Amino acid sequence: MSIEQSQHELDPTLSDDRGGRNIERAGQWQLAWWKFKRHKLAVAGGIVVILIYLVAAFAEFLAPYGPGDYSARYTYAPPQPLNIWNGESLGLFVNGYSVKVNPDSLAREFVIDPEIVIPVGLFVEGAPYKMWGLFESNIHLIGPLDASDPMYLWGADRLGRDMLSRVIHGARISMTIGLVGVGMSLFLGILLGGISGYYGGQVDNFIQRLIEFLLAIPTIPLWMGLAAAIPPTLSPIQVYFMITVILSLVGWTGLARVIRGRFMAIKNEDFVTAARLDGTSELGIMMRHMAPSFASHIIASVTLAIPAMILAETALSFLGIGLRPPVVSWGVLLQEAQNIRSVALAPWLLVPGAAVIITVLALNFLGDGLRDAADPYSD
Amino acid sequence: MENRDQDSVMSVEGLSLDFKLRKGIFHAVRDVSFQIRRGQTLCLVGESGSGKSVTARSLMQIVDSPGRIAQGRITLRADGREIDITALDPKGKEVRKLRGAKIGLIFQEPMSALSPFHTIGNQIDEVTLIHTDLDAKAARQRTLELLRQVEIANPEQMAERYAFEYSGGMRQRVCIAMALACNPDVLIADEPTTALDVTTQAEILDLVKRLQTERGMAMLLITHDMGIVAEVADEVAVMRYGRIVEHGSVDKIFHAPEHPYTRQLLDATLKLEQNARPATEAAEVAAPDLKPIISVRNLAKHYGGGRKLLGKDAPAIRAVDDVSLDLMPGENLGIVGESGSGKTTLGRLIMRIIDPTAGTILYRQKDGSEVDVAALDKAQLRAYHAEVRMIFQDPFASLNPRMTVKQIVGDPLYVNKLAGGRALEEKVAELLDMVGLEPSMMDRYPHAFSGGQRQRIGIARALALNPRVIIADEATSALDVSIRSQILDLLLDVQRRLGLSFIFISHDISVVRYFCDRVAVMHRGKVVEQGEAARICVAPEHPYSQALISAVPNPDPRNKRMLQRVRLNAS
């Protein structure tokens, strides 16, 4: 067969022009990337996820206040809109509060007073912090020029703490608990799922029944039981660690099943048999032939597992058996929104809930796109 | 159209089909015209990707998105009026009335064409109920009559069964019954026998031909097999790259082809009608002082069986049953059989991908000493696998899509630490050159190659370790006919240069006849007949071999082989 003739036999989608990109020499990651880029929703989800992780990484700098900073003078202060035009000149400012007494409940309430102008600046000095525990600074992205003036862009909670700052700081815990938890699940999942899929037989049977047993236990009572076993004397950081362990002890089962399935599917592929006949050792087959073909699938499953972890942490903390103050996570923040009175009076306490929804959706879109792109050879 | 005549049931004029892709438009079918006449069979022949299937689908307006009819007219003449199918809405009522009623369709894959949830009877009833005003009882009567016509025994009972209780050939009969339920004027058969064994294929073709003659239907048969064309066609249209390159009566196409592509197709088919191994080579092989390189004795592989925890003892499935074979040095041994005959299992047993239940496989090493393959340990097996290599059936599944060609072909050298770096690259270039590929392509990934090229890559991998024996398991069955003979010639050329022996496993008699010196015919796990390829393919002795050989279509319309077919009744 001549080369010219064979070119005609190629799939027309492959031989068409792709803007000079060389599809013949493109490896799996390149192909997967091209396929992923076509999935617009997933790309958008990916950008949102990256932004949220950046927020989590630079929380101290981005948040106007520290997570625990409170002001007894401004409890349940409503959100202030950020203005840039005061009628005369251009400049960032917020309006201050004046106190009114509600004629029905006789409670003190804050209303925004357009008369009071509080100038706001970028890169202002504020509460000191230690960035990543490395160097000290007191520069914040945004804040009132006079540190004693109030600025609550997303409102304040029952102790007069800034919701914006707390949501930003909460992102760090909530987002990393997902990563760390999934990391541990992944370790257990690859190990047990891999053994189960590769060896099969009795071992597979045992591991699969174990997974079914774990899946059969109602999750919330199991978490509650495990969380109750955490000694109350532990420091918040240790509690954080224990919670991730608890979450991943339940979370590995799904990943283990995905990995077992991939192992079983690939184990009998002709190219794996061919590699065995080439004299490749068992380890070589796993590392050089099997692992690359499911690495992309694993990344996709991991992306889809993170939102489950975030939701689990939120649920646990919301129930009061997960993380505890003074640690700030979205779940801990939502605890504040547990009673109906505060929600009725201060609906901005639900903002962490919105953060959870956006994050989980973005991660799911990203994960779906990654899963579709994961195997560029199936079309 | 100049030759519109009274017999024409369906005419296609200037049909073009476009597929809108992300970048540009792919013209799958370009300016195709033909007529289908009452009582006649038009065969649309072409290799994969020629646009023949999508043409057939457009006749019923069932082209999948993003494909669409760009130009042309499809006219159906039925009940004394003309219907322009292209003008109908693909999802509309009008075209649904035609599908199944005026135009019947038989699919390639009988396994997936039937619903697993409904009984066979109900599925055929449905067609009648939709298109006629018969009641359920009358429809069932008709269904039973149809099943009788397609030669299904005990139609009353079989109608109550489900698709999974039917064999492949029986399912295709059911599909035919369904297609014929409303006495269509046109029957479209899209590769109706490609998924079937050769003996079943002959029966289905017989059946279709007989029903067509009885009913005076017009038929459009789509196939890639010139043998089938010669057996059933009245008229032939040869398609390539979406165009009809030649159109004419079957006799003219076979005996006076004009277009070079038609000639190329015919040559590729006819070439496989003779043996490529001259008698001298076979004589050398038969020299008395030679001892077999592989000698299989009483080999068996049973699956299942033994004591069960509950219930009765299940009988074991004898996939390979008491097989004895010899492979001489420099010889090509063919193993033929239909699906389920155990030929692939036999190949895998010889490679020891699976362990035999009983029997021995003796392999004569280079120094003349014999070893039993079944008893080799891991290190010895590795050495054995370096000398006895395998070529796989599926050129897509057998190459790791995540490795470049260099990595794939060089992998055996790399893992056996025979070469690395520069030396590896040179060796891979040499191997690629030997199998007729550009060495500069070694940095590409398998997806950049066609099926035939991939099979060449697989051959290069098999040759990398300087083997003595190659076991080729259906190595050419996934390829188009013109590429098939090229791959066979490549294997013969490599054999001449390197002095290899081949065990060639195939269901395709013509391939074996072309390639092999000796043939073993397998049936239900047993070797029923062994002998010279020339003799087995012309004058087989065992009744099963006779049935098998006589079912192979003959690519000569003046000498249809299937008419003198031997049927094997003992089953």
Instruction: Tell me what pLDDT residue A229 has.
Output: 82
Contact list, B450 vs chain A (CB under 8 Å): 6, 9-10
Q: What is the pLDDT of residue A260?
A: 87
Residue intervals of chain B classified under CATH 3.40.50.300 are 8-114+166-271, 279-305+313-554
pLDDT digits (tens, 9 = 90+) for B429-460: 999 998 888 888 888 888 888 888 899 999 99
Give the residue from A5, A7, A9, A288 with the most B CB atoms within 10 Å of its CB, the best one to mutate: A9
A286 DSSP 8-state letter: I
Architecture of domain B279-305+313-554: 3-Layer(aba) Sandwich (3.40)
Looking at chain B, the whole-number percentage of residues with pLDDT higher than 70 is 93
CB contact under 8 A, B411 and A1: no
**Through-space distance between the first and last CA atoms of chain B, rounded to whole angstroms:** 51
pLDDT at B562: 63
Task: Please tell me whether residue B325 adopts helix, strand or coil conformation.
Answer: strand
With an 8 Å Cβ cutoff, are B402 and A23 in contact? no
Flag whether pLDDT at B259 surpasses 80: yes
Low-confidence ranges of chain A (pLDDT < 50): 1-20
Looking at the complex, report in whole angstroms how far the Cα of residue A252 sits from the nearest Cα belonging to chain B.
27
Judged by CB atoms closer than 8 Å, whether chains meet at A277 and B385 is answered as: yes
| Closest-CA residue of chain B to A296 | B402
In this prediction, residues B382-390 reach a mean pLDDT of 90
Which pLDDT does position A1 carry in this prediction? 36
Which is higher by pLDDT, B67 or B160? B160
Say what the pLDDT of residue A51 is: 92
**Beta strands per DSSP E along B194-339:** 218-223, 235-240, 243-249, 294-303, 317-327, 332-336
Nearest CA-CA partner of B176 in B127, B227, B138, B236: B127
- Give the one of A25, A278, A293 whose C-beta lies nearest to B412's C-beta: A278
- Mean pLDDT value across residues B134-142: 90
Of A62-66, B93-97, B467-471, which has the strongest mean pLDDT? Answer: B467-471
Q: End-to-end CA distance of chain A, in Å?
A: 26
Instruction: Give A377's contacts in chain B (Cβ within 8 Å).
Output: 401, 447
Q: What is the pTM of this model?
A: 0.77
Q: What is the pLDDT of residue B334?
A: 92
Nearest chain B residue to A38 by CA: give it: B22
> How high is the pLDDT of residue B436?
87
CA distance A178 to A186: 12
Identify the residue with better confidence: B342 or A26.
Answer: B342
Contacts of A279 in chain B (CB under 8 A): 382, 385-386, 412, 415-416
Task: Please give the pLDDT value at position B313.
Answer: 61
Q: In terms of DSSP H, where are the helices of A20-75?
A: 28-37, 40-57, 59-62
Indicate whether B353 pLDDT > 90. no
- Neighboring chain B residues of A6 at a CB cutoff of 8 Å: 449-450, 452-453
- CATH architecture, domain B8-114+166-271: 3-Layer(aba) Sandwich (3.40)
What is the per-residue pLDDT across B3-34, written as a single tens digit (0 to 9) for each?
A: 456 678 888 888 888 888 776 788 888 889 99
Judge whether B204 and B150 are in contact, CB under 8 Å: no
The reply to whether residue B444 touches residue A12, judged by beta carbons under 8 angstroms, is no
Residue B571 binned pLDDT confidence (cut-offs 50, 70, 90): very low
Distance from B119 to chain A by nearest Cα, in Å?
32
What structural domains and CATH numbers belong to chain A? Answer: 68-160 (no CATH), 166-374 (1.10.3720.10)
Answer yes or no: do B449 and A16 touch at CB < 8 A. no
ipTM above 0.85, yes or no: no
Q: Do B398 and A270 touch (CB under 8 A)?
A: yes
Task: Select from A270, A276, A278 the Cβ nearest to the Cβ of B392.
Answer: A270
Nearest CA to CA, how far is B280 from chain A (Å)?
28
The answer to whether B447 contacts A27, with C-beta atoms less than 8 Å apart, is: no
Q: Which residue of A has its CA nearest to B26?
A: A12
Q: What share of chain B is helix, strand, coil (3-state, %, to 5)?
A: 40, 25, 35
Cβ A9–B21 below 8 Å, yes or no?
no
